[in-house]
Amino acid sequence: MKTYYKVCHKNRYGITSINYYDLFHNLTLLYNLNQWTLPKIPNSKLFCFRSLGDARNFVRRNGIDSYAIYECVVKNPHSIKYIGSPHIYTKAINFWKHKDKKYEAPIGTISASSIMLTKLIEEKL
């Protein structure tokens, strides 16, 4: 399987998705090493990057101070051009329900039906 890269948070909850850090609406995804993670929103996908350079560029361009980048393997990878708003619950739901494509995806974004983190590459806490 091809290796991809996932940017995450490491916090008191464990390893969580960098974009869906939303406990109020229960969208936070918890990842465990060597276990498959599935999306919580029906008919949605998870996101990762095709290269370590793309993952690092995402961190740098978004001014993310605390992060962890993991190698991962994925099921059903597809390059994408657009995403919904990852931080606003209703926009995230509408993106997947109505394919409301509002925002250009970061360079190198891959969508997948599930993701398995396999190795920590770098972190800044």
pLDDT at 103: 75
Q: Which of 46, 82, 86, 84 is nearest to 62 (CA)?
A: 86
pLDDT at 12: 80
Residue with tokens 């891959």: 110
pLDDT at 86: 55
Where is average pLDDT lowest: 13-22, 50-59, 73-82?
13-22
Do residues 55 and 6 make contact, with C-beta atoms less than 8 angstroms apart?
yes
DSSP letter for 32, please: -
pLDDT at 98: 57
Do residues 92 and 28 make contact, with C-beta atoms less than 8 angstroms apart?
no
The encoded tokens of residue 53 equal 């350079």
- How far, in Å, CA of 28 to CA of 70, rounded? 17
The domain spans of the chain are: 4-124
The mean pLDDT value of the chain amounts to 84
**pTM of the predicted model as reported, rounded to 2 decimal places:** 0.86
In this predicted model, what pLDDT tens digit does every residue of 59-114 receive, in sequence order? 999 888 899 999 999 999 999 887 765 555 555 556 556 555 567 889 999 999 99
Residue with tokens 């980048």: 69
Do residues 107 and 55 make contact, with C-beta atoms less than 8 angstroms apart?
no
